[in-house]
Structure formats: C-alpha cells, structure tokens
Amino acid sequence: MITVIDPEAARRALATRNLACPEPGCTGRLRVWSKARPRPVRGRDGRVQVIRPDRGRCRACSVTQVLLPAFCLPRCGYRVEVVGAVLLAAADGAGYARAGAACAVPTSTVRDWIRAVRRSAPALIAHTSWLPPSAPDPAQAWPTPSPRLPGLTAALHALGTAARGLASWLTRPDPPAHATVTGIDYLALIARQHRHEVLRRLRLAAPSSGAGHATPWELVTILTAGRLLTGVPG
Ligand SMILES: [Zn+2]
C-alpha cells in the first residue's frame, strides 16, 4: 500500500512511471495496474463515499501497491477523521457509546479502535521518534485530551506532535541535486537521500502535491503508513 495525499497527482505520476516502488531494497518503478476493489468510506456527516483506488505494479519486484488516499485507513469503512474524533472523545473521558455517538459509529467498533490504539500505544510513540523533528506552530492547535486513559492520551499527544512536524517537513522544497559531491553539495546530497528514505519509509507518493492541505488526521495516516489501527511497523 502507498498513501497518497492528492489522488489525481498520484495517478498522473503512476501513468508516467514516476512512482518509486516502496518495497525495501527495490529500486523499481510502478506501472499502471488494474484498480483496487470499490470500498465505501463513511464521513463524519454520515455520508458514504465509494472510492476505487488506483493500483500500481512494480516491474522489478512484481509487488502490486494500492494507492490509498490519506483520508482512508486499510480495512476501515470510516474516514480517518471519524476515527480521530472518536479517539479524542475517548481520551477526553467519554465512554464507548458516547465517543461513537457524535459520528454514529457502533459501540463495538469504537471499542475495537480504542483497544487497538491503547494496545499499540508504546509502538506508536516509539514510531514517531524517527520522524522529522517537529517545528512548533501555535496556529496548528492540537486538542489536549485529559489524562484518564494514559496509554491512549500519550499516543495521541505523540501523534499530534509528530503530525505538526511532518506537515512542516513535507512542505519544504526538495534539497537541490548537485553534479559534484564536495563540501556543501555533499550535505545537500545527504539531505536529499534522507528525505527520499523518509518518504519511502512512510510509503508516501507525490508528497509535494497537496501536502499543505492535508488534515491533521491525514498526516497521522501518513506518519503511521496507514497502520493507526493495525500496529505500526517496527
Ligand atoms: Zn519493487
């Protein structure tokens, strides 16, 4: 799976074979493959949008990749903003029923989401440590949950802080490429390689398009590589 912020831009990049394969160690490029199955995604207003994500297949390793928009989570029928609203309500002390009521999410689903995040809270917090450092921005306020659920609260704080840093990092221009590898050019090359490695690890495509418009919870999808509810990779 690859996360895309702007599906149209990612589709164009896929069509022109400008999407790199995200598999570790693979240097292949993706080519257009058959679309993924349709999937309904419910928003906070209850409306259901049926999307059919693009897919690409690597010519080198033959692995297929679903290009999933950042507002989606794999195997989840709700937009990530719905999941986020429920998690924040629970961290603020709401029970399962009340946390899900505002977004019309069944109690059993709310329970599963909260248990999943609480269970993986240490891994989520650890996962944020390798991301680009946060640049504090008072304009991007992140709700502060109460400390009634320490694991959940700590995970949301870590994700919120990392999301702010990621937003700042994604909107920076790519470090310039240089023909020579000397002095400051070498530093630029290292910065460029580091940026590409971070993007590969995030499994993020076409980051320069739409990055500035990603919502906080879409950023959380990106920084967890879509695994907010299923456990982040080690
Ligand atoms: Zn590949």
pTM: 0.81
What's the CA gap between 145 and 62, in Å, rounded? Answer: 44
DSSP output for 162-230: HHHHHHHHHTSPPPPP-SS-SHHHHHHHHHHHHHHHHHHHHTEESTTTTGGG--HHHHHHHHTTT-TTT
Collect the ranges in the chain with pLDDT lower than 70.
130-149, 173-187, 206-211, 233-234
Please provide the average confidence, as pLDDT, over all residues in the chain. Answer: 83
Ligand 1 mean position to 60 CA, how many Å? 5
Cα-to-centroid distance, 103 and ligand 1 (Å): 39
Ligand 1: centre distance to CA 81 (Å)? 31
Tell me, in angstroms, the distance from the centre of ligand 1 to residue 71's CA. 25
Identify the CA nearest to 96 among candidates 110, 81, 82, 84: 110
Ligand 1 mean position, distance from CA 54 (Å): 17
Collapsing DSSP states into helix, strand and coil, what is residue 74?
A: coil
- By DSSP bridging, strand 48-51 and strand 39-42 are antiparallel
pLDDT, position 202: 75
Q: Provide the pLDDT for residue 138.
A: 43
pLDDT for the residue 94: 92
Distance 56 CA to ligand 1 centre (A): 10
How many A from CA of 209 to the centre of ligand 1?
23
Residue 111 CB contacts under 8 Å (≥ 6 apart), including other chains: 96
Distance 30 CA to ligand 1 centre (A): 7
Ligand 1 centre distance from Cα of residue 29 (Å): 7
CA of 25 from ligand 1 middle (Å) equals 8
Instruction: Compute the distance from residue 220 Cα to the ligand 1 centre, in Å.
Output: 25
**CA Rg, the chain, in Å?**
18
What was the pLDDT predicted at 201?
73
Strands 54-58, 64-69: parallel, antiparallel or unpaired by DSSP?
A: antiparallel
Express each pLDDT in 110-159 by its tens digit.
Answer: 999 999 999 999 899 888 876 665 544 444 444 444 445 478 998 998 89
Distance (angstroms) between ligand 1 centre and the Cα of 206 equals: 17
**Ligand 1 geometric centre to CA of 35 (Å):** 18
Give the C-alpha separation, 56 to 48, whole Å: 25
Per-position DSSP letters for 12-71, written without gaps between them: HHHHTT-PBP-STT---BEEEEPPPPPEEEE-TTS-EEEE--EEEEETTT--EEEEEETT
What was the pLDDT predicted at 231?
Answer: 81
